[in-house]
Amino acid sequence: MRTRIAVAGLAVLFSLAACGANDDPLSKDAGGGSSTSSSTVTIGSANFAESELLAEIYAQALEAKKVQVKRQFNIGARELYLKALQDGSIDLLPEYNGALLSALAKGGAPQGVTTPDQVLAELKKVLPSGTEVLEQSAAEDKDTLTVTSDTATKYNLKTIDDLKPVANQLTIGAGPEWQERYQGLKGLKELYGLQFKTFKPLDAGGPLTVNALVKNQIQVGNIFSTDSSIATNKFVVLDDPKNLYLAENIIPLIRSTSNNPTVSGALNAVSAKLTTENLTTYLAKVQVDKQDTAAVAKAFLSENGLS
Amino acid sequence: MSSYLSNNWDTILTALRQHIWLALVPVVLGFVIALPIGYLGVRFPRLYHPLVNVCGVLYSIPSLALFVFLPVLLGTKILSPLNIVVALTIYTVALLSRTVADGLRSVDPLVVESATAMGYRRLRRLVDVQLPVALPVILAGLRVATVANISLVSVGALIGVGGLGQLFTRGFQLFYLEPIIVGIVLSVALAGIADLTIVLIQRWITPWTRFQGRTA
Amino acid sequence: MNLNYLFDPAHWNLEDGSIPLLILSHLWYVVLALIIGTIIALPIGLYIGHTGRGSFLAINAGNAGRSLPTLGLLMLMVTLLGLGLTPVLIALTVLVIPPILTSAYAGMRSLDPRVVDAARGMGMRPWQVLTKVELPMALPVLISGFRSAALQVVATATVAAAVGLNGLGRLLIDGLAVNDYSRVLAGAIVVAVLAVLLDLVLALAQRWIVSPGLR
């Protein structure tokens, strides 16, 4: 009876060990730490489809150059994944220059900084130590305030300014991080004087927000400008005359320890090929056609001569 | 569905393997830790009620909160799977300490007395008599802990480490059913297999229970 | 990590998103799920326990139900049904059904068959046997199952916030999104305290409901 218990116990341990032999998440290599212990580049992404697609494009571009990569996608909002980057859990991720600048600069992005080059110059001043950005792409994906065409007609909305007289009757939906961000409720209040009836914390421009807009559970939603749901649902994107939302060019953010000519060469080549148009097209393949992210990334790279 | 499966086979397998690890390592660790704690709750009866209460409170801490705090408390990296493992180990210990104590308490005092009369000393009496008699109850608790862990791992996906839970968040972000369904089916199947395995182990190492009709 | 968020009076007023309102919405999900779950599970459990038919189902319902990942189920339901209370209630109800069903069954099975025979011998009708003898005697086991269901659902109802609803999960999800650990801690503490209080209330109710003869 005691031998049986011992045998059973050992069998359980062995089968666990066998199961994890190839991919032991408890080994020191897992969950990051790779940046210092080996040449593997751990790539992270935020918790929305476009970020994951871009991260996958980076991953395959690096793999094509024989760089070892590890995928650690879908981490969360910027507030969370920047921490992961700083503690070495991840080494690289796709970022948006304006949003990143606003998050890093004390008191938000400086006044008058709106063009891609201005944003990049300011961004380089405030990057956390040990991290750097590579070349930014022409592709932009901005935060927007978006409404349904019904809402736009009803209140005669074209710009964010037009919301001012009616905001107190409207519910706005966005990722929970909007409660604290300058490029969220704070900026809307300070810059445009908007005070919405309620804020509904949903997701970062994802299906919850789209769904809530369609069902009129929210009237104003934060949708990303490249999102195919805007066209699909005939949403109206409100103009931003006061430039609350800065340039949002896609840019690789990397830990300096992982940066080397091979890596930067591969990623800069990706940035050179990325445009708002092709990003929108490829993102629609993921969002609308439900194609696999890896397959879409592969198609992007081969069609742009990068694989 | 089939095209989803064939296109994402590697992702699914990786998620599954991570899920198995994240769920089962805590079961083993938690079991080993819970044995002495549960024993203390029986050896010193005054500790029993505090033990039950502390376990109850520990179990009611939301898993997401625990996943988030552990890096702060342990100094681990925020994406380290260790956070999930430690959190689930805490739940397992909370669940099993009580079961171990209850199991040992359920041993007929007459049996313990006879063992003492036969000259068994405390440790040998515990290992050779009390534990085996308590095993059916303890293993029933182990089944609960294992199945609960397998289902809890997926919450980790909200912070980027969650085995099959990553299939849920992916499907959810695209409003796409296939990954979610595959994740649920695999998670349930995994729990079923783990549960069945424990039942089989139980039958094998406690053959006497087979003759009592119902197992615990 | 500190307790500032929890003890800031501004978070205890009755404005949108304040802790008292989140507690209310949290309790609302919990109570609804428990009521719906009981309505579904109790009759089935009692029937199986009473007749002995379908015991296999009752014994295994517990672990089968526990094995359904609530987060996945919730995301599945939201994807199918859209945003709202219904998907959350479905996911939470699925969580509470197994322990209630299993304990109703176990409670009925734990009865001494001679007691039931005696009741019949006294001329009680089946309905009377059920309501006057079997149900009261099964109550202790039944309520303990209900208590464990309640504890589980209090902690799990936090996932509602992951799909845009309220409840105390808001403090966890929002705290995480804006990197405010003080808020996450506040959420965890309030949930744990709520669970303990609820369990205490149910324990008192148990004393009050269960016949003194069974203690």
Which residues, including other chains, have CB under 8 Å from residue A114's CB and lie 6 or more apart? A243, A246, A247
Q: Is pLDDT at A21 greater than 60 in this prediction?
A: no
Q: Among partner residues A12, A75, A207, which is closest to B79 by beta-carbon distance?
A: A75
Mutate to test the interface with A, among B10, B35, B77, B127 (most CBs of A within 10 A): B77
Find the residue in C nearest to B55 (Cα): C196
Burial class (CB in 10 A: 0-12, 13-18, 19+), A186: middle
Q: Is pLDDT at C23 greater than 90 in this prediction?
A: yes
Q: Is pLDDT at C84 greater than 80 in this prediction?
A: yes
Structure pTM?
Answer: 0.86
Residue C183 in any domain: the answer is: yes
Residue C140 in any domain: the answer is: yes
Average pLDDT for A10-14? 71
For B125-157, how does the pLDDT look when each residue is reduced to its tens digit (9 = 90+)? 998 889 988 998 999 999 989 999 999 999 999
Q: Among partner residues C16, C82, C177, which is closest to A176 by beta-carbon distance?
A: C177
Q: Which is more confident, B9 or A139?
A: A139
The alpha-carbon gap from A30 to the nearest alpha carbon of chain B, in Å, equals 7
Q: Which is more confident, C62 or B88?
A: B88
| Mean pLDDT taken over chain B | 90
Chain C hits for A196, Cβ within 8 Å: none
- Give the side-chain half-sphere CA count within 13 A for A174: 26
Residue C57 in any domain: the answer is: yes
Q: Among partner residues A198, A202, A215, which is closest to C82 by beta-carbon distance?
A: A215
Q: What is the pLDDT of residue C209?
A: 85
For A33-49, how does the pLDDT look when each residue is reduced to its tens digit (9 = 90+)? 434 445 899 999 998 99
Q: What is the pLDDT of residue C31?
A: 96
Domains of chain B listed by start with CATH number: 2-212 (1.10.3720.10)
Mutate to test the interface with B, among C5, C22, C63 (most CBs of B within 10 A): C63
Q: What is the pLDDT of residue A17?
A: 65
Cβ atoms of C88 and C71 within 8 Å: the answer is: no
Query: Facing residues of A252 across strands?
Result: A94
Closest CA to A62 of A46, A41, A91: A41
> Is the CB of B151 less than 8 angstroms away from the CB of C69?
yes
Average pLDDT for A81-106? 91
The pLDDT-based confidence of A3 (bands split at 50, 70, 90) is confident
Chain B hits for C76, Cβ within 8 Å: 168, 177, 180-181, 184
| Mean pLDDT taken over chain A | 88
Task: Kindly list the partner chains of chain C, i.e. chains with 3 or more CB atom pairs below 8 Å.
Answer: A, B
Residue C189 in any domain: the answer is: yes
Average pLDDT for C38-47? 92
Question: What is the percent of chain A where pLDDT is above 90?
Answer: 66
Counting one residue from chain A and one from chain C, the pairs whose CB atoms sit within 8 A come to 51
Q: What is the pLDDT of residue B9?
A: 86
- The CATH fold of domain A38-141+247-303: D-Maltodextrin-Binding Protein; domain 2 (3.40.190)
Residue C7 in any domain: the answer is: no
Average pLDDT for A292-298? 92
Chain A hits for B199, Cβ within 8 Å: none
Q: What is the pLDDT of residue B3?
A: 80
Average pLDDT for A50-71? 95
Closest CA to A62 of A260, A267, A252: A267
Cβ atoms of B103 and B83 within 8 Å: the answer is: no
Whole-angstrom Cα distance, residue A137 to residue C155?
Answer: 44
Domain boundaries, chain A: 38-141+247-303, 143-238
Q: What is the pLDDT of residue C53?
A: 83
> Is the CB of A203 less than 8 angstroms away from the CB of C179?
no
Q: What total number of domains does chain C contain?
A: 1
Chain A hits for B28, Cβ within 8 Å: 12-13, 16
For A212-266, how does the pLDDT look when each residue is reduced to its tens digit (9 = 90+)? 999 999 999 999 999 989 999 999 999 999 888 888 999 999 999 999 999 999 9
Domain that holds residue C63: 17-214
The alpha-carbon gap from B45 to the nearest alpha carbon of chain A, in Å, equals 27
Average pLDDT for B25-48? 94
Which residue, chain included where needed, has tokens 């980790």? B156
The pLDDT-based confidence of A207 (bands split at 50, 70, 90) is confident
For C152-211, how does the pLDDT look when each residue is reduced to its tens digit (9 = 90+)? 899 899 989 988 889 999 999 998 888 888 999 999 999 999 999 999 999 898 888 887
The pLDDT-based confidence of B104 (bands split at 50, 70, 90) is very high
Chain A hits for C176, Cβ within 8 Å: 76-77, 80
Q: What is the pLDDT of residue A169?
A: 95
Average pLDDT for A57-72? 95
Average pLDDT for C77-81? 91
C73/B contact by beta carbon, under 8 A: yes
Q: What is the pLDDT of residue B7?
A: 80
Average pLDDT for B167-171? 91
Listed by number, the residues of chain A in 273-302 with a beta carbon closer than 8 Å to a beta carbon of chain B are: 286-287, 290, 292, 294-295
Residue C144 in any domain: the answer is: yes
Average pLDDT for B63-79? 88
Closest CA to A78 of A180, A173, A218, A198: A180
Chain C hits for A186, Cβ within 8 Å: none
The pLDDT-based confidence of A19 (bands split at 50, 70, 90) is low
Complex ipTM over 0.90: no
Residue C122 in any domain: the answer is: yes
Chain B hits for C23, Cβ within 8 Å: none
Chain A hits for B79, Cβ within 8 Å: 31-32, 44, 72, 75, 84, 89-90
Q: Is pLDDT at B92 greater than 80 in this prediction?
A: yes
> Is the CB of A201 less than 8 angstroms away from the CB of C176?
no
Task: Give the domain CATH number at C189.
Answer: 1.10.3720.10
B187/C contact by beta carbon, under 8 A: yes
**Homologous superfamily assigned to A143-238:** Osmoprotection protein (prox); domain 2 (3.40.190.120)
Whole-angstrom Cα distance, residue A305 to residue A269?
Answer: 10
> Is the CB of B188 less than 8 angstroms away from the CB of C67?
yes
Helices (H), B44-163: 48-59, 63-74, 81-105, 109-117, 122-125, 131-152
